[in-house]
């Protein structure tokens, strides 16, 4: 019984760790999406300017906008990778929760069995050896 409770605590800690990692991954994803959106908006704003004094200024703004667009595409790629990482972390969190719930259920079953007093609790997974006559 104590072993199951310890295992349940370990599974709870593992679930909490998985939740923290998933939250960090989601936060990173959100920041990358925001950065890509802001960069794209800046490129659009600079690209729509028409008050250039000469061709050199127009060329300079064009290069700047092109650089912003490249940064935005790169950030979009980073956000895509962050999305897959966040999804994987969410799956790990779900698995950790299932393992914790399974241990909790086993511990509750053992408690009920012990409370009944009619049965000896199963302490291990080994098969009984010998015969019933011993």
User: In whole angstroms, what is the distance from residue 119 CA to residue 23 CA?
Assistant: 44
pLDDT of residue 129: 66
Burial of 100 (0-12, 13-18, 19+ CB in 10 A): buried
pLDDT of residue 73: 92
Looking at the chain, the number of H-run helices and the number of E-run strands are: 2, 0
DSSP-derived secondary structure for 50-85: ---SSHHHHHHHHHHHHHHHHHHHHHHHHHHHHHHH
Looking from the CA of 58 toward its CB, the CA atoms found within 13 Å total 6
Q: What is the mean pLDDT of each run of 10 residues along the chain (134 residues)?
A: 82 90 94 93 88 86 92 92 93 91 87 74 60 61
Domain 2-116 fold is: Helix Hairpins (1.10.287)
> Could you state, in order of their start, the residue ranges of all structural domains in the chain?
2-116
């Amino acid at each position: 019984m104590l072993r199951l409770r310890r295992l349940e605590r370990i599974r709870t800690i593992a679930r909490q760790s998985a939740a923290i990692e998933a939250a960090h991954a989601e936060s990173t994803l959100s920041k990358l999406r925001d950065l890509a959106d802001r960069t794209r908006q800046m490129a659009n704003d600079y690209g729509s300017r028409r008050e250039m004094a000469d061709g050199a200024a127009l060329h300079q703004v064009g290069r700047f906008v092109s650089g912003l667009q490249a940064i935005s595409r790169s950030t979009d790629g980073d956000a895509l990778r962050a999305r897959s990482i966040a999804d994987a972390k969410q799956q790990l969190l779900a698995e950790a929760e299932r393992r914790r719930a399974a241990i909790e259920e086993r511990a509750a079953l053992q408690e009920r069995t012990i409370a009944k007093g009619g049965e000896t609790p199963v302490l291990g997974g080994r098969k009984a050896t010998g015969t019933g006559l011993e």
